Chain A
């Protein structure tokens, strides 16, 4: 089933999504990877404000290539980065900032699945490396924050228009496609070992 949703996402939007469904997004999408997570949590701890509102937001694990044409920024390529690098930071990030969706590739570990269930957030898988397709779903760039972190690490404020396809990889009910694939892969490993003449 294919759905189209607008950010910021309400809790109802988020809870309505089931693992395996396909979603397209409209509205603001914020990029943020390693440094944004670290920085945002540090700011919060020090009681300092951050320049964007993550509530209900779609946070995109992405380090894009951007180009300045005149005064405006445009996206050259914007595919996802490996989400598992953010595994240790994401549960706390979700708890403190309450994003509605995390967009990335490769999936995330159990503590993040748990945090998503508890606070209402989903993981949307975007095809890794498909950066031109992703850029096509971004109609304009509203701005950039924390640019001093470097082009790939900054928060880019992107305006999405039919951004996708995104596959719900982890829903807010504790279901993870990655976990079910993992289980299957474990079963298949036995067959592979037999085929290669290896010990069980």
Chain B
């Protein structure tokens, strides 16, 4: 049977892989961006990013010093008897020491830093029950530079799709070079204020090369991505053709009288990772198959 210690060890391994290696879809998007860039300054920025990714993999070190705060999405089997949440908290604590992760989590008012990335509701764990036999744990290690550029807009229904586009555009203009572009945008539409922000972050969990299954939403994703890349904010805000590396939308039905829209801004270091813990203790890392 899987124990809490198994979960803890799986989480340490997951965090190590996540902060060291980018998922394949993000890497190939960066490579494609480097290929279309013609100007000297942005080429240099993208080359530095690619060199950095290779060095991080070689040395098994975190690709960025901001290893973020840890946000988890877990799916449990119906009859799960392990205290997965405890395993995760212990895993974060151990990973902070062993990987190492930068101790980022602080008490919001006193700003006191416990030094282990663990505190009230941190790591934050989103939990649901699924129909698989394995425990699935997905983590996003989210840096502050990009997160601080995220925004929620409570639009009125009459603002409609143009209002949504307007809001996304103004978020990107406001963000400029701050979130370490080329950036990835996770966009939530609908729900309520809290659900909308949550959708925006969940949108960042989808691979960049996968469009939404609803064709209308997929078309909006493509339209926004292409248009925003005409801005030429470029890598690190120093100008260039790729400002937005990827753009995913998730939506939920909402009240007839409201239109929430949320943008969660992510940096080029779009780190996410998933581990599956099978009943026999075997681990599988679908986001990090090559290592």
Which residues from chain A contact B63 at a C-beta distance below 8 Å? 77, 129, 131-132
Task: Identify A198's interface contact among B162, B178, B231, B238, CB under 8 A.
Answer: B162
Which residues from chain B contact A82 at a C-beta distance below 8 Å? 145, 148, 178
Task: Identify A133's interface contact among B52, B102, B143, B238, CB under 8 A.
Answer: B52
Residues A188 and B231 in contact, CB atoms below 8 Å apart = yes
16 A/B residue pairs, CB under 8 Å, sorted by A: A63-B66, A79-B65, A105-B145, A105-B178, A106-B236, A128-B145, A129-B49, A129-B64, A130-B52, A131-B52, A178-B238, A185-B231, A185-B232, A192-B230, A196-B165, A198-B162
Complex interface bits, A160-200 against B, C-beta within 8 A gives 1, otherwise 0: 00000101010000000110111011001101110111110
Asked if A56 lies at the interface with its beta carbon under 8 angstroms from chain B, I say: no
Residues B51 and A169 in contact, CB atoms below 8 Å apart = no
A15 to B176, CA, bound (A): 28
Asked if B152 lies at the interface with its beta carbon under 8 angstroms from chain A, I say: no
A63-B65, A107-B237, A129-B63 known; A151+B103 contact, CB < 8 A: yes
A129-B63, A151-B103 known; A167+B227 contact, CB < 8 A: no
B interface residues, Cβ below 8 angstroms from A: 40-41, 44-45, 48-49, 51-52, 55-56, 59, 61-67, 100-103, 113, 143, 145, 148, 162, 165-166, 169, 173, 176-178, 180, 223-224, 226-228, 230-239, 267-269
A106-B237, A132-B52, A196-B227 known; A127+B65 contact, CB < 8 A: no
A78 to B64, CA, bound (A): 8
A73 to B41, CA, bound (A): 33
Asked if A62 lies at the interface with its beta carbon under 8 angstroms from chain B, I say: yes
Which residues from chain A contact B103 at a C-beta distance below 8 Å? 151
Asked if A65 lies at the interface with its beta carbon under 8 angstroms from chain B, I say: yes
Which residues from chain B contact A20 at a C-beta distance below 8 Å? 40-41
A interface residues, Cβ below 8 angstroms from B: 20, 22, 62-65, 67, 76-79, 81-82, 84, 105-107, 125, 127-133, 135-136, 150-152, 165, 167, 169, 177-178, 180-182, 184-185, 188-189, 191-193, 195-199
A151 to B64, CA, bound (A): 15
Residues A178 and B237 in contact, CB atoms below 8 Å apart = yes
A76 to B143, CA, bound (A): 17
Residues A181 and B233 in contact, CB atoms below 8 Å apart = yes
Residues A67 and B166 in contact, CB atoms below 8 Å apart = no
A-B contact count (CB 8 A): 156
Residue of A nearest to B55 (CB): A132
Complex A-B, nearest 8 residue pairs according to Cβ-Cβ distance, in ascending order: A128-B180, A77-B65, A130-B52, A127-B48, A129-B64, A133-B52, A131-B65, A132-B55
A129-B268, A195-B230 known; A79+B45 contact, CB < 8 A: no
A107-B177, A130-B49, A151-B102 known; A188+B230 contact, CB < 8 A: yes
Residues A65 and B67 in contact, CB atoms below 8 Å apart = yes
Residues A127 and B45 in contact, CB atoms below 8 Å apart = yes
Task: Identify A136's interface contact among B49, B55, B65, CB under 8 A.
Answer: B55
A13 to B41, CA, bound (A): 21
Q: How far is the CB of B51 from chain A (nearest CB, A)?
A: 5
A62 to B44, CA, bound (A): 20
A72 to B230, CA, bound (A): 48
Which residues from chain A contact B233 at a C-beta distance below 8 Å? 181, 185
A105-B180, A177-B41, A198-B169 known; A131+B62 contact, CB < 8 A: yes
A84 to B236, CA, bound (A): 13
Other A-B contacts than A20-B41, A133-B51, A135-B61, 10 sampled, CB-CB below 8 A, are A106-B177, A107-B177, A127-B48, A127-B52, A129-B49, A129-B180, A131-B64, A133-B52, A185-B231, A192-B230
A133 to B162, CA, bound (A): 41
Residues B232 and A105 in contact, CB atoms below 8 Å apart = no
Residue of A nearest to B226 (CB): A195
A104 to B169, CA, bound (A): 25
